[in-house]
Amino acid sequence: MKANRMYLTKFCHTKDHPSNRGTLKLGTLHSYRNEELGEIHDPEEGIWTTQLVFDPSTQFSKSWLKDVLFGAVIPKMGNFIQQQQKTIVSSPFDHPGKMIIDVEKVVTLEETQTHARLSGQAKITIDLENILIFCMSIDLDGNMDSPFSYDSKWSLPKSKAPAFSNLIGGLLPSIPLTSLDLSTHDGIQLHHTSGIRIAGSYGEVRYIDKEIKIQEEADFTKEMMEEIFKNCHMTKDTKFQPENEFRFWYRFSLGSSIVPVTGDFFPMVNQLVGIGGR
């Protein structure tokens, strides 16, 4: 099937169809966590939790352990005095958000100066800063059935994703200041929207198994962790794979500071017809 015959479909209730409402709803990662409607409620939206399951027969280098566990202390087997702790890393990889390394269920079986054998599993939780997202489903022929209890839908040719992204991005500068936090993460107070930049992109959501079995160091590297962290808003557990999601996202910044987003936005979308909406 040709790529230009593929569609992006948004399922909705009839009252929320753009032709009836005249607007689209762009939600934030946090708002979808708190959403009351069961169809779109996702308590883990923008949060990625993975379990690193260590093979007890493998000798891991301490330099690798330091990289992937950010220096978390792993107690030795039978040492009940040494307390397991959670390590919280703010803005790792020079990117907004935080990472929590929980080694409560990991012990060191044996170690040398350079290597160690571990048993158990470490829990890594990634929590990104709040950004705007708009989600659609990849529809091979425009005839996809709703996975939820919606009674309406609308579609765009997948080839029009760049035009749709630009359309929404062009509407966002008109948002009221009250829709943003009044300060950046760096504490800079905001009194107007002048100078605020909007960065956005789009793409297919990646589905990754949240349990990673590590038999050798190449199974999980610091580079892999950085990629997951920076793309957490485009990554979901494999259990959501039937949704076949395509996502648009937008982030606000002032200089080098990220401006947190609060609340939802409802830009007018009369221009949809101009990019092949139906």
Cα–Cα distance measured from residue 215 to residue 6, given in angstroms and rounded to the nearest whole number? 39
| Residue whose structure tokens are 């390394």 | 101
Specify whether 117 is located in the same domain as 217: no
Q: Please, which pLDDT band fits residue 119 given cuts at 50, 70 and 90? A: very high
Cα–Cα distance measured from residue 28 to residue 263, given in angstroms and rounded to the nearest whole number? 7
Specify whether 61 is located in the same domain as 191: no
Residue type, 233: H
Specify whether 220 is located in the same domain as 169: yes
- Which residue, of 96, 127, 158, is where some domain finishes? 127
Q: Which of 24, 80, 68 is nearest to 228 (CA)?
A: 68
CB 21 within 8 A of CB 257: no
Specify whether 175 is located in the same domain as 60: no
Specify whether 27 is located in the same domain as 103: no
What is the distance, to the nearest Å, from the Cα of residue 16 to the centroid of all Cα atoms in its chain? 25
Range of the domain at 113: 47-127
Q: What is the pLDDT of residue 269?
A: 63
Specify whether 239 is located in the same domain as 148: yes
CB 244 within 8 A of CB 138: yes
* pLDDT tens column, 241-269: 888 899 999 988 877 777 777 777 777 66
Q: Is it the case that residue 157 has pLDDT exceeding 50?
A: yes
Specify whether 139 is located in the same domain as 233: yes
